[in-house]
């Protein structure tokens, strides 16, 4: 038996989607953070237009969702709730996973290179009281979102550490659901990491609000459809793409204990991405 071979297609999820949250309130209202109790836990803006557009793209491709994993941040919970309602699949399990959290760098969390004692205290209070203050948002789902046991990222967290975290967590969560479509709602970095983990030669320049990439097992894609899907984003394999895939493998998080690996997946030929810009 070939010990390096991936699992059979029946052991793989039928697909998974890695999505950035929708438009933040502080994008339209910068003063929101001045008055907020937890200024780093920004809610969504009132519009939600980009989330509806993302849902429409998935509908057009015939994609639905069987299970959701979301970052603990409020904007991700709200994005998850709005998206599955737009898709008409509200009665599905939703889980909150700390491993999908925003990159825990002071610049992203606190808008400062060195957070003050007050900022740190608010952050630790947010974490310590997360179960209670997140309850209203979690109860908005048809089936209340459940918080999974796990570890929060360290503060400060480097870009490299966040990359390793996202690679490992995304693959492990997707692999828990053979034959199902998994939605993972997180932050812009997670979409970039997932795209690179697939070995795609093009580099992500920017992930828009509600931007996503969608993945399907390679074993379930006819060769012609694989090439068609790659043509929109991957084009043909290049030396740069192969080098990035090799670096990704060296970073770790490339295979689960059950043998599922990033190499088992490619971009969904029907809807490879939405709201993602690439370097030309």
193-206 tens-digit pLDDT: 999 999 999 999 99
Least confident of 61-70, 82-91, 228-237: 228-237
Statement: 11-278 belongs to CATH 3.40.50.1240: yes
pLDDT higher than 50, residue 235: no
pLDDT higher than 70, residue 9: no
Give the percent of the chain with pLDDT over 90: 79
Which uninterrupted H or E stretch holds 274?
Answer: strand 273-278
The chain-wide mean pLDDT, for the chain, equals 89
Kind of pairing, strands 146-147 and 94-96? parallel
Output the pLDDT for position 237. Answer: 42
pLDDT higher than 90, residue 27: yes
Output the pLDDT for position 221. Answer: 74
Output the pLDDT for position 93. Answer: 98
> Where does the pLDDT of residue 157 fall: very low under 50, low under 70, confident under 90, or very high at 90 and above?
very high
Output the pLDDT for position 250. Answer: 52
- Where are the domains positioned within the chain? 11-278
257 vs 10: which has the higher pLDDT: 257
Output the pLDDT for position 238. Answer: 47
pLDDT higher than 70, residue 110: yes
Output the pLDDT for position 233. Answer: 45
Give the rounded distance of the alpha carbon of 51 from its chain centre: 14
Q: Is 75 annotated as a binding-site member?
A: yes
Output the pLDDT for position 254. Answer: 86
- The predicted model scores a pTM of 0.90
Q: Is 216 annotated as a binding-site member?
A: no
Of the ranges 65-79, 101-115, 235-249, the best mean pLDDT one: 65-79
Identify any residues that bridge with 276 across adjacent strands, giving them in sequence order: 207
| Secondary structure class of 155 (helix, strand, coil) | coil
> Where does the pLDDT of residue 220 fall: very low under 50, low under 70, confident under 90, or very high at 90 and above?
confident
CA distance 263 to 245: 9
> Where does the pLDDT of residue 63 fall: very low under 50, low under 70, confident under 90, or very high at 90 and above?
very high
Token pair for 12: 């793989």
Of 203, 191, 276, residue with least CA distance to 243: 203
239-279 tens-digit pLDDT: 554 555 555 455 557 899 889 999 999 999 999 999 999 99
- Using N-to-C axis directions, what is the helix angle for 159-175 and 239-251, rounded to 10°? 90
Neighbours of 173 (CB within 10 A): 21
Of the ranges 5-14, 52-61, 113-122, the best mean pLDDT one: 52-61
CA distance 175 to 14: 10
* Alpha helix stretches (DSSP H) within the chain: 25-28, 32-35, 49-60, 74-87, 106-110, 117-128, 130-133, 135-138, 159-175, 188-197, 223-233, 239-251
Output the pLDDT for position 280. Answer: 85
Output the pLDDT for position 30. Answer: 85
Catalytic (active-site) positions? 21, 102
Least confident of 152-156, 174-178, 235-239: 235-239
CA distance 55 to 63: 9
> Where does the pLDDT of residue 165 fall: very low under 50, low under 70, confident under 90, or very high at 90 and above?
very high
Q: Average pLDDT, stretch 60-81?
A: 98
């Amino acid at each position: 038996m070939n010990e390096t071979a991936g699992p059979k297609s029946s052991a793989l999820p039928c697909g998974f989607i890695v999505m950035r949250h929708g438009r933040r309130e502080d994008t339209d209202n910068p003063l929101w953070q001045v008055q907020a109790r937890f200024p780093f836990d920004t809610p969504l803006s009132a519009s939600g237009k980009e989330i509806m557009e993302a849902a429409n793209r998935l509908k057009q491709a015939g994609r639905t969702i069987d299970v959701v994993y979301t970052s603990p941040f409020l904007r991700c919970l709200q994005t998850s709730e709005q998206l599955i309602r737009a898709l008409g699949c509200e009665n599905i399990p939703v889980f909150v996973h700390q491993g999908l959290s925003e990159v825990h760098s002071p610049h992203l969390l606190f808008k400062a290179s060195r957070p003050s004692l007050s900022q740190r205290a608010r952050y630790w209070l947010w974490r310590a009281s997360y179960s209670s203050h997140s309850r209203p948002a979690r109860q908005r789902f048809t089936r209340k979102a459940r918080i999974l046991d796990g570890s929060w990222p360290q503060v400060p967290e480097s870009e490299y550490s966040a990359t390793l975290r996202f690679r490992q967590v995304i693959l492990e969560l997707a692999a828990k659901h053979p034959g199902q479509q998994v939605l993972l709602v997180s932050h812009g970095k997670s979409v970039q990491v997932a795209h690179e983990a697939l070995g795609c030669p093009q580099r992500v320049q920017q992930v828009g609000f509600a931007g996503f990439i969608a993945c399907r097992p390679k074993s379930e894609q006819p060769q012609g459809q694989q090439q068609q899907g790659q043509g929109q984003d991957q084009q043909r394999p290049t030396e740069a793409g192969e080098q990035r895939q090799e670096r990704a493998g060296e970073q770790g998080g490339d295979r689960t204990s059950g043998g599922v690996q990033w190499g088992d997946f490619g971009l969904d030929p029907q809807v490879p991405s939405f709201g993602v810009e690439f370097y030309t």
